[in-house]
Amino acid sequence: MSRPPLPPFDESSATAKVRMAEDAWNSRSPEQVALAYTPDSRWRNRAEIFQGREKIVTFLTRKWARELDYRLIKELWAFHGNRIAVRFAYEYRDDSGSWFRAYGNENWEFAPDGLMRHRVASINDLPITEEQRLFRWPLGTRPEDHPDLSALGL
């Protein structure tokens, strides 16, 4: 199984890879998202470190059970060979109705088949009010005409 675009990346293929990842994460389907990673993919997400698709599914299931109305925007930061660096922001609310915007960076390393074999994410959460929300599209894929992070000043 391969997952084009494949490394080595150029700006166009790296940008496409980032948008594909954003669209998959906005589906909030742990099983779908996990298919973009090697079976033994290594992750660091905040303070959690784990390995393998099964653990990815478990992690994402838990994440989206507590991060409600999740909407994400990813933006290419840099790329070289089989590596891509991404900055992102996402908005969600918790079960008490409080809203947050999470900001972060991810470093990705890909296998030759285009599956991600290593993901390192650093994330910070900022409480926001309902009025401060910027990501208001219907749940799912961000519309093509919705501003990206740079256009939003994030």
Instruction: Give Dmax (Cα) for the chain.
Output: 44
Domain range for 18: 11-132
Whether residue 51 is contained in a domain is answered as yes
Residues 88-109 pLDDT 10s: 999 999 999 999 999 999 999 9
First to last CA, the chain: 36
Q: Give the type of residue at 126.
A: L
* Overall number of domains in the chain: 1
- Per-residue DSSP letters for 23-56? HHHHHT-HHHHHTTEEEEEEEEETTEEEESHHHH
In a domain, 4, yes or no: no
Could you tell me if residue 40 is inside a domain?
yes
pTM of the predicted structure, to 2 decimals: 0.97
Q: Is residue 145 part of a domain?
A: no
- 91 belongs to a structural domain: yes
User: CATH no. for residue 95?
Assistant: 3.10.450.50
Note whether residue 67 is domain-resident.
yes
Q: Residue 2 falls within a domain, yes or no? A: no
Please write the tens of the pLDDT for every residue from 24-74: 999 999 999 999 999 999 999 999 999 999 999 999 999 999 999 999 999
